[in-house]
Amino acid sequence: MPDVSLTVDGRKLTAPAGTLLIEACKSAGIEVPSFCYYPNLPLQGACRMCVVKVEKMPKLQTACTTVVTEGMIVATDSDEVRQARKAMVELLLGNHPLDCPVCDAGGECELQDMTFSYGAAESRFMEAKNHREEQQWSPVAYFDRPRCILCYRCVRVCGEAMDVWALGVQNRGVNSVIAPNQDDHLECEECGMCIDICPVGALTSGAYRYKTRPWEMNHVGTVCTHCGDGCKTTLGVRRCDTGMEIVRGDNRDKSGINNDFLCIKGRYAFDFAHNDERLTQPLIRKNGKLTPSTWEEAFGLIGKRFAEVRDKDGGSAIGVVGSNRTTNEENYLLSKFARVVLKTNNLDHHRTADYAAFAAALHGKPGKTASMREVFNAPAMLLIGNDPTNQHPLLAWQIRNNVRLHRSRLYVINSAPIKLRRQTAGFGLVPTGAEARAIAFLAGDDSLLDSLVSDITNRDAWSALRDKIRAEQNLVIAFGSELRGADIQKLVNFASSLTAVKLICLSDYANSRGAADMGLYPDLLPGYQPASSADKFHHEWGGLPTEKGLSLPEMVDAAKAGKLKALYVVGSNPIGRLSIDPFVFSKSFVVVQDMFLTETATIADVVLPAANAYEKSGTCTNTCGDLQLVKKAGEVTGTKPDFEMIVRIADAMGFDVRKLVPFGGGTHADMGQTRGAQSGEADRHAVWLEAHNLEPKMTPFDPIAILDEIQRLVAGYDVSRINLLAGNDQHIEIAESGPSVLHKPELIVPANDDLFSSGTLGRYSHTLNSVMENKPAETDVAAD
């Protein structure tokens, strides 16, 4: 679009035609105040705070609804304008309770700020203020009408942006009130966006209210640990008896891939971290009972037993299960530890997506994966399987708002009429499990059409859908775990036949992608390198076992057969999540690192109390392959990060930990100096570490010490360290990975979490539980 030039407060500006005056001003650093204006939400023109003087216009104009025009002359700070704004604030304060000292929003309230700027502190009003009692709308949402300034942000974010439409406006005039959909309570997705977006303290969160004052918190920007989308979240933390407590989660600074979006889990479900059932001492089974002990005793015992088994029965008698929620550094370390120290390839994790097949299909095809940011701007999108509203809330948000704001075209192929169908330009309902057939049909196989038709999508609709999809010049395809193995290859082949396509393989946990990328596989090393032939790892890590290891189900079988003598489970609950008979491990020496006494921990011989993702640093990779920095926010005394525990076990086994973690001087990790154009990065690295309070200790427990090795050895991870440490997301190319091995489709087991559950973690979140309990019982869940 051509630019227009205008003059604001005597300064010459240019802005693309069609820009709103308020945005043009903002880009030039001229702040025009507003309550009701909110980027990407429908215009309201309701609060009148943004009034400015536009030359040749008789009245003041609202900058939020005025589009810039050539030659426009604007004054944003004249006496007339200031007076108008001051009067607006005075009027608002007239009925405002001014209970700032006890208001959650006190200190970060837009009305307070505005009062401060326009000096409307003196009251002209004597009469009683209109009063109404505060209401509780849900376990997490409270509404205080007197504080509400009716900016309608909540109504719009709930309706337009979330497509939930649970809030409305009732009554008229001064009696107008924001109302929830169920008379006196809310039935919704509980995302809390309404609370987040409220400029004052009218909507407050049950999780945060009355807990602290904003200025008493420290804020740490990190990554949400719940689903695979990897939302950036800013955690508000403060000191408490047991360390550092997380009291709030939001992304008000819009700094991440999620802009200001968070779902219920990201916003409130950090509370598992302070669950009373948190383990804070190592436990050792003595006389059949798990008994508190010391770290020294625990590591000593584990080291001794692991070494015994390895030396007597061989590494193949040991199984290792990694985690979808630990960091890349921890997963990489575990992968290395298993192979180098335990001498086993019996390594696996709870796979919720077939990344191995995805990597194989895209091997050597660069630029074919889409980032989460790209979803928001793609001209067209195809979703196959999955229900993002429940399983990938951020992805759903990106898709929905891309359709709404950019008129992107969405096509959905699903076995259920998922909520996102409301945004579709084409919807294909397939019989359960027939997603792959639909792809074959899209690719041109008409013989399958009959098996796809349904009431919702008949033959013509399928043909029309195919034509539309094939006509797209620029498409992002996201697919769920319905597609595995060879089906992914077929999808990639179809995608390659279209003009420009990028793909996203959807997985369920915060670092599922990272677990796969870091080689938590029995036959694949980091970067999907086959364990049998990955020369660079042999070279770097030293002697590795090359025979194919056991997958998780095979480990179970081996345990049944008495051949698995030891099992090391890091941050995973396979017994609880994968319905494994707990008795099969009764003859194995089982070590579990976890936060809670999970089903798996209950049968362990040693349980080590672990820190969670909010309590450590490192990186993780989301479902799209976006790499982000994880920063330590909370702390619970008595726990340790998995990274440290792995290193301590290696040490207890008598292994030289320098060979595991290249820390300090004299290691063969080069910290980046030899990388030509990027040399000198190590210095910058140090500066960054210092600037970001990451304390460059260079101890064997510093995960950053191994990041360099990851960047060097894991294909695709060689991204800018500076950007990473600055908190920016960076996309990882899976195409550079090694040609992978096709696995059995049964190895993929979806987590089946929805908005209100989060694997084992979710069970320990009071907030999620209270919201679940508050939901009305499902009416007729017909067994059809």
In whole angstroms, give the CA distance from residue 89 to residue 93. 6
Please identify, among the stretches 3-11, 45-53, 245-253, 374-382, the one whose residues bind another protein according to the rule CB under 8 A.
Answer: 45-53
CB atoms within 10 A of CB 781: 7
Choose, by CB under 8 A, the member of 13, 15, 50, 51 that binds another protein.
51
The count of chain residues that interact with ligand FES, using the rule CB under 6 A, is 12
State yes or no: residue 45 binds ligand FES (CB under 6 A): yes
The count of chain residues that interact with another protein, using the rule CB under 8 A, is 45
**Could you give the angle at the alpha carbon of 497 between the alpha carbons of 495 and 500, nearest 5°?**
65
CB 220 within 8 A of CB 113: no
92 interacts with, out of ligand FES, another protein, none, CB within 5 to 8 A per kind: another protein
Please identify, among the stretches 48-56, 412-420, 570-578, 710-718, the one whose residues bind ligand FES according to the rule CB under 6 A.
Answer: 48-56
Choose, by CB under 8 A, the member of 171, 287, 674, 779 that binds another protein.
171
CB atoms within 10 A of CB 124: 10
CB 195 within 8 A of CB 186: no
Toward ligand FES, which CB reaches closer, 26 or 48? 48
37 interacts with, out of another protein, ligand FES, none, CB within 5 to 8 A per kind: ligand FES
User: CB-based contacts of 75: which residues, under 8 Å, 6+ apart?
Assistant: 8, 9, 52, 53, 55, 81
Site string for another protein, 74-113 (x = CB under 8 A): ---------xx--xx-xxx-xx------------------
Choose, by CB under 6 A, the member of 7, 9, 28, 46 that binds ligand FES.
46
Burial class (CB in 10 A: 0-12, 13-18, 19+), 526: buried
In whole angstroms, give the CA distance from residue 554 to residue 550. 5
Question: Closest Cα partner for 551 from 345, 387, 716, 248?
Answer: 345
Sign of CA dihedral 373, 376, 380, 381: positive
449 interacts with, out of ligand FES, another protein, none, CB within 5 to 8 A per kind: none
Listed in sequence order, the DSSP H helices in 255-327 are 264-268, 295-313
State yes or no: residue 179 binds another protein (CB under 8 A): yes
Take residue 434 and report the two structure tokens written for it: 């027939």
Toward another protein, which CB reaches closer, 181 or 275? 181
Take residue 221 and report the two structure tokens written for it: 């920007």
34 interacts with, out of ligand FES, another protein, none, CB within 5 to 8 A per kind: ligand FES
Least Å distance, CB 130 to another protein, is: 8
Listed in sequence order, the DSSP H helices in 119-167 are 153-156
**Distance from the first to the final alpha carbon of the chain:** 54
Toward another protein, which CB reaches closer, 127 or 535? 127
State yes or no: residue 711 binds another protein (CB under 8 A): no
In whole angstroms, give the CA distance from residue 223 to residue 727. 10
State yes or no: residue 155 binds ligand FES (CB under 6 A): no
State yes or no: residue 389 binds ligand FES (CB under 6 A): no
In whole angstroms, give the CA distance from residue 345 to residue 520. 9
In whole angstroms, give the CA distance from residue 338 to residue 333. 8
Take residue 195 and report the two structure tokens written for it: 């609370």
Toward ligand FES, which CB reaches closer, 65 or 667? 65
Question: Closest Cα partner for 734 from 718, 716, 712?
Answer: 716
Toward another protein, which CB reaches closer, 93 or 247? 93
Toward ligand FES, which CB reaches closer, 36 or 109? 36
State yes or no: residue 655 binds ligand FES (CB under 6 A): no
Least Å distance, CB 62 to another protein, is: 8
Toward ligand FES, which CB reaches closer, 37 or 585? 37
Choose, by CB under 6 A, the member of 50, 418, 430, 713 that binds ligand FES.
50
Output 555-562 pairs: Cβ under 8 A, ≥24 positions apart: 555/319, 555/321, 555/346, 555/348, 556/580, 556/581, 556/584, 558/319, 558/346, 559/319, 559/584, 559/585, 559/587, 559/588, 560/584, 562/587
State yes or no: residue 150 binds ligand FES (CB under 6 A): no
State yes or no: residue 124 binds another protein (CB under 8 A): yes
Please identify, among the stretches 26-34, 48-56, 424-432, 555-563, the one whose residues bind another protein according to the rule CB under 8 A.
Answer: 48-56
CB 620 within 8 A of CB 628: yes
Amino acid at the residue 268: Y
State yes or no: residue 476 binds another protein (CB under 8 A): no
Toward another protein, which CB reaches closer, 94 or 745? 94
Site string for another protein, 52-81 (x = CB under 8 A): ------xxx----x----------------
Please identify, among the stretches 9-17, 118-126, 233-241, 549-557, the one whose residues bind another protein according to the rule CB under 8 A.
Answer: 118-126
Least Å distance, CB 92 to ligand FES, is: 12
Take residue 597 and report the two structure tokens written for it: 């006494």
Toward ligand FES, which CB reaches closer, 45 or 214? 45
In whole angstroms, give the CA distance from residue 98 to residue 782. 51
- CA-atom Rg of the chain in angstroms: 28
Question: Closest Cα partner for 347 from 566, 168, 48?
Answer: 566
In whole angstroms, give the CA distance from residue 328 to residue 642. 11
State yes or no: residue 169 binds another protein (CB under 8 A): yes
Toward ligand FES, which CB reaches closer, 50 or 244? 50
State yes or no: residue 17 binds another protein (CB under 8 A): no
Choose, by CB under 6 A, the member of 49, 302, 420, 725 that binds ligand FES.
49
Least Å distance, CB 53 to ligand FES, is: 14
In whole angstroms, give the CA distance from residue 684 to residue 699. 19
Choose, by CB under 6 A, the member of 26, 48, 285, 548 that binds ligand FES.
48
**Across the beta sheet with 409-414, what order do the strands follow?**
424-429, 409-414, 380-384, 475-479, 501-505
State yes or no: residue 173 binds another protein (CB under 8 A): yes
**Binding positions for ligand FES, 4-43, rule CB under 6 A:** 34-37
Question: What is the SS3 assignment for 362-420?
Answer: HCCCCCCECCHHHHHHCCEEEEECCCHHHHCHHHHHHHHHHHHHHCCEEEEEECCCCHH
Toward ligand FES, which CB reaches closer, 63 or 227? 63
State yes or no: residue 46 binds another protein (CB under 8 A): yes
In whole angstroms, give the CA distance from residue 503 to residue 478. 6
Please identify, among the stretches 39-47, 103-111, 207-215, 274-282, the one whose residues bind another protein according to the rule CB under 8 A.
Answer: 39-47
Choose, by CB under 8 A, the member of 14, 28, 45, 536 that binds another protein.
45
Toward another protein, which CB reaches closer, 44 or 600? 44
**Binding positions for another protein, 351-410, rule CB under 8 A:** none
User: CB-based contacts of 781: which residues, under 8 Å, 6+ apart?
Assistant: none
Phi, psi of 547 (to 5 degrees): -70, 150
Decide the pairing of beta strands 424-429 and 409-414: parallel
CB 640 within 8 A of CB 611: yes
State yes or no: residue 148 binds ligand FES (CB under 6 A): no
83 interacts with, out of ligand FES, another protein, none, CB within 5 to 8 A per kind: another protein
State yes or no: residue 66 binds ligand FES (CB under 6 A): no
Toward another protein, which CB reaches closer, 116 or 125? 125
Take residue 608 and report the two structure tokens written for it: 């080590």
User: CB-based contacts of 311: which residues, under 8 Å, 6+ apart?
Assistant: none
Least Å distance, CB 63 to ligand FES, is: 6
Toward another protein, which CB reaches closer, 47 or 356? 47
State yes or no: residue 60 binds ligand FES (CB under 6 A): no
Binding residues (CB under 8 A) for another protein: these are 43-49, 51, 58-60, 65, 83-84, 87-88, 90-92, 94-95, 124-128, 130-131, 149-150, 165-176, 179-181
Binding residues (CB under 6 A) for ligand FES: these are 34-37, 45-50, 62, 64
